[in-house]
Amino acid sequence: MQKMIVVKSTVGLHASLAAKIVKAASQYSVEILLHYDNKTIDVKSILGLMSLAVPSGENVIIEANGDQAEAAINEIAAILS
């Protein structure tokens, strides 16, 4: 399952936002990936998220598969938007 999200934080994907995403993602037993600018990272990696340096207004794709995929994607989407 995939979902495209627009990063709405005025400063983009920064450290505290990345920490919130990692905390939320860690509650789920599924692999959750974020795709941006031809790069793919595991959203449970704070360094991976921060290395993307996604600016405000950019589209990212969140991908997960499994029983908890939809709930995980929706929670992370809510944090980003």
Torsion angle of the four alpha carbons 78, 80, 52, 63, in this order, in degrees rounded to the nearest 10 = 30
C-alpha to C-alpha distance for 29 and 72, rounded to whole angstroms:
9
Look at residue 35 and give its three-state secondary structure. Answer: strand
Domains of the chain: 2-80 (3.30.1340.10)
Enumerate the active-site residues: 14
pLDDT tens profile 23-53: 999 999 999 999 999 999 999 999 999 999 8
The string of DSSP letters for 7-56 reads ---TT-S-HHHHHHHHHHHTTSSS-EEEEETTEEEETT-HHHHHHH-PPT
User: Does 12 score more than 90 pLDDT?
Assistant: no
pTM of the model: 0.90
User: Does 76 score more than 90 pLDDT?
Assistant: yes
Query: What would the mean pLDDT of 70-81 be, rounded to a whole number?
Result: 94
Amino acid 15: pLDDT: 87
User: Does 3 score more than 90 pLDDT?
Assistant: yes
Mean residue pLDDT of the chain comes to: 93
